[in-house]
Structure 1
Amino acid sequence: MSAQPLAMAIQSIVDKLNQVKHSSALEPILQISADVCPLPMLAWLSAQQTFPRIYWHGRDKTEEVAAIGSCYDFSFEDDVDDNTLAETYHQQCMLSNNHDIRYYGGVAFDRTIPCWPEFGRARFVLPRIEFRRSGDQHRLIVNLKTDPEVLAQECDSAIAALQELTPARPLPPPHKLTPMGRCDRPEYNRWKELVEQVTNKKFNQDTPKVVLSRLTQLEVNDDIDPWMVLACWQARNPNSFQFGFQFSHERAFISCSPERLYRRCQQELYTEALAGTTTRGFTPEEDSQLAQALLDDTKNSHENQLVRRHIVDTLNPLSNYVGAEERPTVFKLNHIQHLHRSIRAELRPGVTDFHLLQSLHPTPAVGGLPRHSAMSFIRQREGYMRGWYAGACGYFNKYESEFSVAIRSALIEPGRINLFAGAGIVAGSDPDTEWQELENKLATIMSILVEL
């Protein structure tokens, strides 16, 4: 089927929805789609009035999704045990055998404590409407429940949602903000205390790594369009995952993260160890020298090796086979570069995305080692609630899934921009050097938002 202008694609789906009203013996979830001409997805998303608004762009650049509304929405605001999450996940996956049905959402960094309003400790949405690009194919997609008691209403709701779509309009031009104030939590002196506690020989023997992070809050007078910010960020770091979740007018979480938690294609799993950081050079020669110094640096190599070993050990009980690169390579971003090792596994039958999220998240690259003691230290000492920062964000269905670790991220609220950055603290870490690493990791988003 050839691509159609948006108005024609909408009418094609409306015609199908009117036919579906009188159908029977349908799967619990039905997906209707039409090929459509390309459109600027972030600009389109910014123009819509319906929530939630969701954006996903894969790191390999072949996948891009802009979605609004909700067909199914399941979230956990309060205490939730892993068995409840597993059962909910299983129920959702059993609703359809369609390979194209996807639930988008995330899991907080720490599910044992309260999270941000609206986001919850875990929340996943099957959108009402999606624009999805896979390679060169662009589709307009509608999802609906087909329970006979609600089928007619679902079709009418979907038709109304299609008719309320607003054409894409240019994103507002980026402009530099003048923050009224800045607050860091923890502030520098507290940061120094925490680093010294983690690097203390007695503590470090039992907990060799803790990833400490910082919340940087900018107080602003301006209204901020999160999708404009994400578009600018995307242009600066095109080789990252880019995603955003906006469940209401009040707050939006956006991220331009280099780190994959995992990608699953049926039983094939792809993941990575991304840990160890340095800056980029001003010339190709300086950049190569910094990259080589990173590869030769004992502290950073040790940090990356810890992450690699932990992931392999975690995957072994879930897999028939696990293979990992022995030597790291350098993964380059706009302002920084990381040590990177690829890891591949063949999962055992019956291993689900929930098992993977439960086992892999949070990774040693954002939490520490061993997980329990590092998480306990962060929970008690860091001094703020991470929420979905350093959480796992992505999509899943029965056949495939992909999740990114939500580092390099921002929570945008009325009058406030919350920025997050972390650094892995191991034996030999220096508080001043690690504090500067936080500044380096915020450099790209700060250069978009404020006059430096």
Structure 2
Amino acid sequence: MISWQKIIDDVVAAFEAGRAAVWGTNRIIRTTTHVKLPLSELLHWQLSIPAVFSSDPATDRVTLGLGAAQVLHGTGPDAMGDIQAAIRALPDPDIDVTWFGGFAFDPTEPVAGALDGWPHALWFVPTVTLMREAGTDCVTITVVVPAELDAAAVCNTLTDVEAELQRSFGGGEARSSASHVRPEVGMVHDEQSWRQLVETAVGELQHGDLHKVVLARQTPAEVQVSLAEALERLLDAYGSSHVFAMQWAQRWLVAASPEQLVRVTDGTMAVDCLAGTTDRSKDMAIDAALANELFSSEKNRMEHAAVVRVVMERLKLVALDIDVPDVPVIKKLANVQHLYTPIRGRLRPGMHLFDAAGLLHPTPAVGGVPLAGALQFIRNHEGWPRGYYAGAIGFVDTAGSGLLSVALRSAAIAYPHATLYAGCGIVAASDPNEEWRETEMKLKPMRLALG
């Protein structure tokens, strides 16, 4: 277990030395300490305070947040806009803080199933945030507490967080200690019903106005390992993905997302287009042949081009100097490989990460083309509300830099019950059997992590 007492001592010393800044009715304290163990070691499924874990491969930063000093909820069609307006209304602190959270896929549908009770948008600033750069045991600690607290009260706040950690750790995570009945999650497709759903979509695509619709399925599972072990499995196998876990109301959303919806760093914007999928093979020759087949596939290239085209058109409203490669490349993950096009640009003055996200989400890679028709088909036929699956998850600091990833390769967990998600793009030439196989491939990360 990480030495929490040393963290408390270092934070109180920083407070008493004046290394703090006022932020509205709060005070921000920042210091550094040395922590050798993985930050994920602190997390447990039965933790009763809000928590978040983020491992960002692009920056090699691992972040852990505990507690909630500031909380914002958004509900309804403009949930993302409500969060953005609320963040902008707050004063700019002298010490940057980071918000963590996410947005549901479809804010016109309820968030049900394992995440029942979550709002359409949920963002919070943790009471305690620990951030580690890769390759070092130096950890930056940011603590946000009410401004009127003295040193003793700051110490007590951190001691309370430690007590919650100890309580969740001491309670154990044996399956017999389950505190949740399995949630009602809606339609769980078997292979036959999935094939029928895809056939219905193909018929609509061949004879209607739709060009593409992204269908998804969910499947139940039981959590067999600790949260720390689940996260380490994801980091080991899918370290090039954004590994993210967030807990609210004792429900967890866990993801190893291969696709960033949008990243902003000092005004520079980066967007991933990921569409078109095939298998991996341990045999290098077979793996290369699969990649060549994917790259040459007319069906997959058309699906990918549709995503790039729509993303480009939307970004013109918020970005300048947009750069997009002429052809996609192959992005290889542990279990699948995708067609991938990176798009880069500069945000227009006055624009924010959430402005770009609001225009991009949902992309054709998780919704369809045209979007309105695809969303209506999903609502009418998929049989379950997606909640945060294929929504957006990530972080943004008070300077406007941050990352929103698409909540793919994900699971929602009411411990010990999990619901795993996977989807694929359907076009007029789609084969229902192949689409089932693709979803099975995409379920592997969470099956590996939790089972």
Find the residue that maps to 2:22 and give its secondary structure: coil
8 Å Cα contact 2:353/2:400 also seen in 1: no
- Paired residue for 1:198? 201
TM-score, normalization: structure 2?
A: 0.86
What letter corresponds to residue 370 of structure 1 in structure 2?
P
C-alpha deviations, 1:27-54, integer Å up to 9, x for none? 3242322232332111122399551121
Q: Distance in 2 between matches of 1:73 and 1:173?
A: 28
Structure 2 distance, partners of 1:284, 1:156, is 55
Deviation of 1:427 after TM superposition, in Å, equals: 1.9
Q: Distance in 2 between matches of 1:232 and 1:133?
A: 19
Partner SS state of residue 46, structure 1: coil
Asked if the contact 1:105/1:395 (under 8 Å) is kept, the reply is yes
Give CA-to-partner distance per residue, 1:224-252, whole Å, 9 cap, x none.
Answer: 53332232222222211101011243x21
Structure 2: which 5+ residue stretches go unaligned?
176-181
Q: What is the rounded CA distance, in whole Å, between the counterparts of 1:13 and 1:202 in structure 2?
A: 59
Q: CA RMSD in A?
A: 3.2
- Among 93, 96, 119, the residue aligned to 1:96: 93
Aligned residues: 433
Q: What displacement does 1:61 show?
A: 5.8
Partner residue in 1 for 2:133: 134
Structure-to-structure mapping, 1:382-421, within 5 angstroms: 382-397=382-397, 398-421=399-422
- Matches for 1:24-423 after TM superposition, within 5 Å: 26-28=22-24, 29=26, 30-46=28-44, 49-60=47-58, 62-76=60-74, 83-92=81-90, 94-99=91-96, 101-115=97-111, 116-136=115-135, 138-145=138-145, 147-148=147-148, 155=154, 157-161=156-160, 164=163, 185-200=188-203, 206-218=209-221, 220=222, 225-249=226-250, 251-397=251-397, 398-423=399-424
Give the SS at the match of 1:206. Answer: coil
Aligned partner letter, 2:154? C
- 376-385 or 37-46, larger mean C-alpha shift: 37-46
- How far apart are 1:125 and its partner, in Å? 1.2
Secondary structure in 2 aligned to 1:443? helix
- SS, match of residue 364 in structure 2: coil
CA shift, 1:337, in A, is: 0.7
Are the aligned partners of 2:53 and 2:65 in contact in 1 as well (CA < 8 Å)?
A: yes
Q: Distance in 1 between matches of 2:157 and 2:173?
A: 32
Equivalent position SS for 1:26: strand
Match of 1:355, SS? helix
8 Å contact kept, 2:69–2:125:
yes
Deviations 1:328-358 (A, max 9, x none): 1111112211110110011110111221221
Contact (CA 8 Å) 2:186, 2:383: kept in 1 or not? no
Q: Deviations over 1:46-80 (max 9, x none)?
A: 39955112100013361101111111111235675
Cα distance between partner residues in 2 of 1:189 and 1:163: 49
The corresponding residue for 2:179 is: none
SS of the equivalent of 2:436 reads helix
Distance 1:136 1:369, change over 3 A: same
Does the aligned pair in 2 maintain the 1:268–1:344 contact within 8 Å?
yes
Question: What SS class does the counterpart of residue 350 from structure 1 fall into?
Answer: coil
Question: Cα 1:231–1:136, aligned 2, differ >3 Å: closer, same or farther?
Answer: closer
Q: Residue 372 of structure 1: CA displacement?
A: 1.5
CA–CA separation in structure 1 for the residues paired with 2:66 and 2:413: 18
C-alpha distance 368-91 of structure 1, shift in aligned 2 (>3 A): same
Encode CA deviations 1:206-237: one digit per residue, 9 max, x unaligned: 2211100001113x4x6653332232222222
